[in-house]
Amino acid sequence: MVRGLRKAYGERVVVDDVDLDVAAGEVVGLIGANGAGKTTTVECVQGLRRPDAGTVRVLGLDPVRHADRVRRWVGSQLQDSALPDRLRVHEAVELFATGRARPAGELLDQFGLAERRRSAFASLSGGERQRLFLVLALLNRPRLVILDELTQGLDPAARRGVWSAVRQLRDEGTTVLLVTHELDEAEALCDRVVAMRRGRVLDAGPPARLVDRHAGWARVQFGWPPGDRGDASGIGDAGEAGELVRAMRALPGVRDVSVHGDQVRVHGDRPVIAHVGAELVRRGRIPADLRVELPDLEAALLRLLRDDDTSTTAPTATSATPAYHAGPFTAELIGAQQ
């Protein structure tokens, strides 16, 4: 539990009045812009930094005053420089293990390090180091695990392995607080995410709720059979096809209808998916290639950051008119930011 957390480095306030709740057994992700204060926040939670103001409680304890007790129950990823170069993998595990430790062999196996157990830390690849830090974080059956960029530098298979380990932790009732820039990771793992920027929380909630709130649109695309095209100059000009485009434009929630070759694209609010489908069925036109594109958490975060920009730099601009152009949603939003 974090209330009114404030932390400055010198004169610079980098965490400003942050509240954060992580319930037992929950997986919560801190996401946001670079330099938003995510790592500083989790360092305060770990007791590694002393807050300038506010209250932090971890498992009911003040992590600065009760550092030893908190450390016993919190598993954290180490920094890259934290282990001596010549320490072997199995020695690191033995060094960190307490009486509560999980069987080391099992964990090393789970994270693909069994064959590297006799290797010195310095000889491990970046991904292997990352996995060793995860093994050490999970070793002593912590009640809270804090992971900062947990899959940075991992190849796709290792990344999936780490994801399934986090899911297993959740299934076992362990609480997880993670910092990530990988928004597919946040979407896949987190019960809730907290979006931060410039030391403040912009919004928080389940990933799907954030997507609904900040990127509540959809794009429906379908092909119009060539034989049915209005005339040679394009689908939208005349005849049944032209009439269809006009009808699509009139549907509730539709913001734009565009035609690209024989493809019709309808952009609008989420209910547009149902309205377009219903209209096509009503007309007895059921395209086999109908596709729906929905924005993801990345699109929602980009929108959230852009709206924050807008509200701090140009108060008259409105966030109610998303930019719709051809191309993937993310590219649209990045483009719109420039």
**Angle, CA 121 vertex, CA 119 and CA 122 arms, to 5°:** 105
Q: Does 35 bind ligand ATP (CB under 6 A)?
A: yes
Q: Which two three-digit tokens encode residue 212? A: 């609904």
Minimum Å gap between C-beta 187 and ligand ATP is 18
Minimum Å gap between C-beta 48 and ligand ATP is 11
Pick out residues in 12-31 that bind ligand ATP (CB under 6 A). Answer: 14
Q: Does 48 bind ligand ATP (CB under 6 A)?
A: no
Please say which residue, 36 or 107, places its beta carbon nearer to ligand ATP. Answer: 36
Please say which residue, 39 or 310, places its beta carbon nearer to ligand ATP. Answer: 39
Minimum Å gap between C-beta 164 and ligand ATP is 25
Please say which residue, 145 or 272, places its beta carbon nearer to ligand ATP. Answer: 145
Please say which residue, 190 or 254, places its beta carbon nearer to ligand ATP. Answer: 190
Q: Does 38 bind ligand ATP (CB under 6 A)?
A: yes
Dihedral angle of Cα 303, 221, 275, 224, to the nearest 10 degrees: 160
Minimum Å gap between C-beta 170 and ligand ATP is 23
301 in Cβ contact with 308 (< 8 Å): no
- Helix, strand, or coil here: 221? strand
User: How would you class 59 by CB atoms within 10 Å of its CB: exposed for 0-12, middle for 13-18, buried for 19 or more?
Assistant: middle
Cα separation, 130 vs 134, whole angstroms: 6
User: How would you class 175 by CB atoms within 10 Å of its CB: exposed for 0-12, middle for 13-18, buried for 19 or more?
Assistant: buried
Please say which residue, 14 or 294, places its beta carbon nearer to ligand ATP. Answer: 14
What is the bridge-based pairing of β-strands 291-293 and 217-223?
antiparallel
Q: Does 9 bind ligand ATP (CB under 6 A)?
A: yes
Q: Does 40 bind ligand ATP (CB under 6 A)?
A: yes
131 in Cβ contact with 160 (< 8 Å): no
Minimum Å gap between C-beta 16 and ligand ATP is 11
Residue ranges that bind ligand ATP, judged by CB under 6 A: 9, 14, 34-40
